[in-house]
């Protein structure tokens, strides 16, 4: 196996502790889950370093088990890094480059928000607004877990966590109210910063 470097969890931004409608306790617990994904990513890669490649087998093997759950750990890292980085803002309607893309690809901000809300209500894990570089447009994708169902060459710009750990403490089973709170805390500067840094055309 090629060598790997351990990575560290990003610290919890203090502004995440003062969200509207999502409690500090909920965010702190959520961040601990994220730290766990980072630790497991490092643990799995270390184990892969010494795995017996000759025993690779599709029914069960260490290679299979480690590589399968590596995607869950990495998904947990990437999704939550987006999630935490774009919360703490003032919400409201998007502005800047993201707004331009949304209006072009969904017709209106309201249409985008309605579609993402429905995607979140229909998902068992995540809903993402991502830019597909092959199709050249935004789409709201549905994920049932950290590692389902990413689309190659698409870049997520909004990541809405709808695992129950994201909202049960604050809303019990009322996911819709949590989704409302999510929208109220989005930081459009963060989203527009990704559009610029990833050179997404708009």
Q: Which residues would be at the binding site for Fe ion (CB under 5 A)?
A: 161, 163
Which is closer to Fe ion, CB of 163 or CB of 188?
163
Least Å from the CB of residue 20 to Fe ion? 19
Q: Which residue number, 105 or 161, has a Cβ lying nearer to Fe ion?
A: 161
Cβ at position 15, least distance to Fe ion in Å? 18
Identify which of residues 32 and 104 has a Cβ nearer to Fe ion in the complex.
32
Minimum CB separation of residue 76 from Fe ion in Å reads 7
Q: Which is nearer to Fe ion, 79 or 140 (CB)?
A: 79
**Smallest separation (angstroms) from Fe ion to the CB of 37:** 9
CB of 3 to Fe ion, least distance (A): 30
Phi, psi of 51, rounded to the nearest 5 degrees: -75, 150
CB of 111 to Fe ion, least distance (A): 27
**Separation between Cα atoms, residue 26 and residue 165, nearest integer Å:** 8
CA distance 108 to 105: 8
User: Nearer Cβ to Fe ion, position 130 or 160?
Assistant: 160
3-state secondary structure the chain: CCCCCCCCCCCCCHHHHHCCCCCHHHHHHHHHHHHHHHHHHHHHHHHHHCCCHHHCCCCCCHHHHHHHHHHHHHHHHHHHHHHHHCECCCCCCCCHHHHHHHHHHHCCHHHHHHHHHHHHHHCCCEEEEEEECCCCEEEEEEECECCECCCCCEEEEEEEECCHHHCHHHHCCCHHHHHHHHHHCECHHHHHHHHHHCCCCC
Closest CB to Fe ion among residues 26, 129: 26
């Amino acid at each position: 196996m090629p060598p790997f470097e351990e990575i560290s969890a990003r610290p919890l931004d203090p502004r995440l502790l003062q969200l509207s409608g999502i409690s500090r306790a909920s965010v702190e617990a959520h961040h601990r889950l994220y730290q766990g994904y980072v630790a497991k990513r490092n643990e799995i890669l270390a184990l892969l370093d010494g795995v017996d490649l000759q025993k690779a087998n599709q029914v069960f093997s260490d290679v299979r088990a480690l590589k399968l759950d590596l995607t869950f750990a990495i998904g947990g890292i990437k999704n939550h890094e987006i999630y935490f980085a774009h919360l703490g803002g003032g919400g409201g309607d998007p502005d800047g480059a993201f707004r331009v893309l949304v209006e072009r690809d969904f017709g209106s901000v309201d249409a985008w928000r309605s579609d993402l809300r429905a995607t979140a209500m229909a998902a068992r894990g995540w809903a993402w607004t991502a830019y597909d570089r092959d199709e050249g447009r935004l789409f709201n994708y549905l994920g049932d877990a950290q590692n389902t169902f990413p689309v190659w060459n698409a870049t997520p710009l909004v990541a809405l966590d709808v695992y129950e750990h994201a909202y049960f403490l604050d809303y019990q089973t009322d996911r819709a109210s949590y989704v409302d709170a999510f929208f109220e805390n989005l930081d459009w500067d963060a989203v527009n910063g990704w559009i610029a840094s990833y050179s997404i055309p708009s």
